[in-house]
Amino acid sequence: MAECAAVRGLGRHDEVPGSMDGNYYVPAHPATIKDKTMAFNKLSPAQAERLALLIEECGEVVHIACKVLRHGYESCHPQSRVTNREELAKEMGDLRAAMILMCRAGDVEKEDVHHHADDKLEAVQEYLHHQPGRLFPSAGEHHAG
Ligand SMILES: [Mg+2]
């Protein structure tokens, strides 16, 4: 039997406007909620803004990484003359800035991000075919805010 997010514990239904329908908690339609600050996801405008920035920068990294795959690192836009390598570094920096903002605000713990990065380096090592040397440990590579 499927349960809605509120009943599963993703949102406590005593904090989210709505009503019970049998065993199911049905969140109120947003248009009927008087307190407009109480969204079902309980994100503050600041949290939502940081997530939007993170998503935007992830998209920009994907975009320029695809350009590198298609045209190479040294290819550049004919008007700007900025190489794909430079653009990728810029977008990776932008993404890192979004991550730093989220860590500083307490959206995620910086130590958790570092821990998961180390775990990934260790786990992915056996599935990479072209990366020389050991990837893990990566001590000394953590500088994010
Ligand atoms: Mg950017």
Ligand 1 centroid, distance to 113 Cα (angstroms): 20
Ligand 1 centroid, distance to 45 Cα (angstroms): 21
pLDDT digits (tens, 9 = 90+) for 86-122: 999 999 999 999 999 999 999 999 999 999 999 999 9
Which pTM does this prediction carry?
Answer: 0.70
Residue range 34-47: average pLDDT? 78
Residue range 117-140: average pLDDT? 83
CA distance 59 to 76: 19
Residue with tokens 């065993």: 23
Q: What is the mean pLDDT of the chain?
A: 83
pLDDT digits (tens, 9 = 90+) for 68-91: 999 999 999 889 999 999 999 999
CA distance 47 to 65: 27
Q: CB neighbours (10 Å) of residue 18?
A: 19
Ligand 1 centroid, distance to 49 Cα (angstroms): 15
Instruction: Give strand ranges (E) for 12-136.
Output: 18-21, 24-27
Q: Is the pLDDT of residue 14 over 60?
A: no
Q: Is the pLDDT of residue 16 over 70?
A: no
Q: How crowded is the C-beta side of 55, counted as CA atoms within 13 Å?
A: 6
